[in-house]
Amino acid sequence: MKNDNMQDILKNYYAAGGKSLFDSAEKLTEATDVVVAPNAGTTILFSDYAKDHILKTHSRPGQGSIFASNPIPQIQQRLRTIIPLAGTVAYPNYTNRIPGIGYNLVVTQQEAEKYQGDMTTVQKIDNGVSVTVPAKKISEPLKTFSTDLLTVILLPTDVSALNQFHADVKDSQSVLQAIQEGECFHVATAYPGSPDIPPASEWNGNFVVLIPSVAYTV
Please, which residues have CB within 8 angstroms of residue 47's CB and are 6 or more apart in sequence?
A: 32, 33, 165, 166, 186, 187
Give the model confidence (pLDDT) of 22-53 as tens digits: 444 444 445 899 988 666 678 999 999 999 98
Give the model confidence (pLDDT) of 155-214 as tens digits: 999 999 999 889 899 999 999 999 999 989 999 999 999 888 998 999 999 999 999 975
Find the length of the chain: 218
For the chain, what percentages of helix, strand and coil (3-state, to nearest 5) are there? Answer: 30, 35, 40
pLDDT at res. 13: 42
Total-model pTM: 0.79
Give the model confidence (pLDDT) of 109-131 as tens digits: 999 999 999 999 999 888 778 99
Distance CA 16, CA 218 (A): 14
